[in-house]
A and B are shown apart, each in its own frame.
Chain A
Amino acid sequence: MSRSGRSGRRRSKRQVAVLAAVLAVISIAALAGVYFLGEWLENRSYQEQRQQMSEHFGELPTMEYAGQTYVRRPEVETVLLLGVDQHLDDDTWGFQRGGQSDFLLLLALDHQNRTIHQLQIDRDTMTDVTVLSLLGDQKSTRTLQICLSYAYGGTNEERCKNTVAAVENLLGGQRIDLYTAVKLDGIGALNRALGGITVTLPEDYTDLDPMMAKGATLTLTDAQAEHLVRARMYVGDGTNASRMLRQRVFLKAATEQLLVKLRESADFAGTLFDALEEISSYTNFNRGRLINEVNRAYHYDILPAEMFTGEYKIGRGGFMEFYADEDSIAAWVAQNLCELKK
């Protein structure tokens, strides 16, 4: 009995150990299940392209500027924001008719110096663009206005990637990490999400709306926000340069408003993502990534938007062409994305 009893106690300990092991395995499996379910839920809308770890261990890309060699700083993350002229209800079709990216803003998030550099790229900037044939069978390269890069592709994802490739090419091959394209006729949704953006108008736009007089300080309605950001023809001097100025005015005010909203609620980044999703054409961000990036960069210094210097010309067919100075491009890349190679 006692042997039996001792034996019974030993089995009991073994049983406890087995039970504990089983419980541990179940707990780990449950945690893993929850994690993977969460990840699946997060990724089911968007396929995010995360950077490869190997990139950070491999050789970093270099560039030459002013007789010196610069190397890409891995702690600088680049985000390209595109505003495209597709309508919210547009049925885009074919491989040559995706619309144009009328607004291009590159953000360089410097996580070491806690700054955000902004580069506004003129839509008329001439650069090598991949163009496709009628049904996308044949690829060629043409020097075109960078906005046209968005026209080519069978899906919004392909069009977005084509524009990203054109911007990377313009920047001498510098990698763009994250990107999002929004439809400019839905910019009112962003204005609404931010509770109405207040701006002081740099020019007279009473042709578009009688309230939009030069110098007026307005909390924009959704329609006024769209006028300010999107309209070009018949507004002021009708040039893209003037529209870019209006877009910067809007962005500066929107950024200030965003910071106010984030101070009010840390959850606002999620609200912002939902507003962007409503007007999104395509993005390689997912909700979690955007929230993380916004919250991480919340306290960073946002520097004024910069632009390349260069020359405007009237090209074939009467269209405006902007030729950015090579030196201006290299200087921006060297100063904001790279550092001197040691």
Chain B
Amino acid sequence: MKKGFLMLVTMLLMLSMCVAHAAPSIQANNVPSTDSLMIVLDENSEKIKEVVEKLQANREAGKADVEILNEETVEAIDALLPEGVKKEDLKATAYCQVLVYHVELATGDVKATFTFDTVYKQDQVVIPVVRLITVGPDGEEISVETVLEAAVLADGSVEMTFPIELLRSIDICNNTENGHADLAVFSN
């Protein structure tokens, strides 16, 4: 059981790290389609309440929002920040469950544009992170995290690039017992 679980986590990690392919541009929206690849963000997931509570508890303890992530992810984010912006400046501005439909149709990395409640500005630092969360045999959550490339568009929406292997991992994770894939957006 434990061995199988570790294999699954290793597979998810490996899939997340695979080399990117060519990137066709696909516009995602919130309506699942029956015949095309779709990336859907669900803001009504039960998990969001837990995350909000965790973030609020972190803030009360004087921690930065990004500290909800793994240490390695925080270091990766820190390395991406422009001069003058600190990781403590980043706030979690969106959090949702991420679902993928018809991942078998993906032939390369996917660029998808999402509109959030927050209207982001083009000079803002916006960092999306996909979290693949599974529960280990000891009941502890294990999170495999990937920082996505992203750009804020003129209308305040965010274009993100999903490596094809990450899309497959999201699909596997969502179909794993007690597994789910989330997307967090941090911005200054």
Contact = CB atoms under 8 A, between A and B. Distances in A.
Contact of B119 (A96, A134, A135, A142): A142
B134 to A, nearest CB: 23
Contacts of B49: 93-94
B52 A94 contact: yes
Contacts of A318: 31
Nearest to B95: A134
B91 A138 contact: yes
Interface size class of A (residues with CB under 8 A): 10 to 19
Contacts of A317: 29-31
A193 interface: no
Contacts of B52: 93-94, 134-135
Interface string B101-126: 00000000000000011110000000
Contacts, number: 52
Interface in B54-84: 55-56, 59, 65
B48 A133 contact: no
Nearest to A137: B91
Interface string A70-81: 000000000000
With a 10 A CB-CB cut-off, give which of B29, B55, B116 has the most chain A CB atoms.
B116
Interface of A: 93-94, 96, 131-135, 137-138, 140-142, 152, 316-318
A140 B124 CA distance: 14
Given A94-B52, A96-B43, A96-B117, A134 B94 contact: yes
Given A94-B52, A135-B92, A140 B118 contact: yes
A133 B93 contact: yes
9 contacts: A133-B92, A133-B117, A134-B93, A134-B95, A137-B93, A138-B187, A142-B117, A142-B119, A316-B29
Interface residues of B, number: 23
A135 B31 contact: no
Closest 10 pairs between A and B when the two form their complex, measured CB to CB: A140-B119, A133-B93, A131-B117, A133-B118, A137-B91, A94-B52, A138-B118, A134-B92, A140-B118, A134-B95
Contact of A131 (B43, B55, B118, B187): B118
Contacts of A93: 49, 52-53
Nearest to B48: A94
Contact of B56 (A131, A135, A141, A152): A135
Contacts of B55: 134-135
Contacts of B91: 133, 135, 137-138
Nearest to A132: B117
Contacts of A135: 52, 55-56, 59, 65, 91-93
A153 to B, nearest CB: 12
A93 B52 CA distance: 9
